Amino acid sequence: MKNSCIILLIISLLWLLTSCDEQRVFDLSMEIPQKSWDYDSIVPFDVLIKDTTITYNVYLNVRHSNTYLFRNLWVKIHTTFPSGEQKEQRVDLPLANKEGKWHGTGLGDVRSAQIQLQSKAKMPDIGMYRFEIEQNMRQNPLREVMDIGLRIEKAE
């Protein structure tokens, strides 16, 4: 009886953990080695889009230390569509307000922010999209950036 209760509890927890994020299409973060992001260290994400009839919300996740020197982070986002078409966009990501208070959440000296890049974006083609994130600040290498991530979810 005791073993079956434990098994039932484990199955329930696994079900809860896997069913909580039904909107997620893609969510992956990549570590920046030694918290030092060079211009030529482009962070790639390959995303398979299966449904062109819905819209998507697109986010960039940034994890940095409290000793990051700036209130923002400029990046270039290179997108390659399944058709081979390519687009480039320069984006300013706010990481702190004017008073220097960090956005997002934190634990100890690490901060995590999720910044929405697009709301209700259309993905015109079924297939593999490639998103490449390049740091575009004046400082090279850019220090104290730990991870860069991409999240794509179904828009409601």
Does any domain span residue 150?
yes
Q: Give the model's pLDDT for residue 15.
A: 47
Q: Give the model's pLDDT for residue 32.
A: 97
Does any domain span residue 56?
yes
Q: 48 lies in which domain range? A: 23-154
Does any domain span residue 75?
yes
Q: Give the model's pLDDT for residue 107.
A: 87
Of 31-40, 85-94, 96-105, the poorest mean pLDDT is in 96-105
CATH of the domain at 90: 2.60.120.1300
Does any domain span residue 3?
no
Asked whether the predicted pLDDT for residue 2 surpasses 70, the reply is no
The mean of the pLDDT values for the chain is 89
Q: How many domains does the chain have?
A: 1
The pTM score is 0.83
Does any domain span residue 10?
no
- 54-85: burial string, b at 16+ Cβ within 10 Å, e else: eebbbbbbbbbeeebeeeebebebeebbeeee
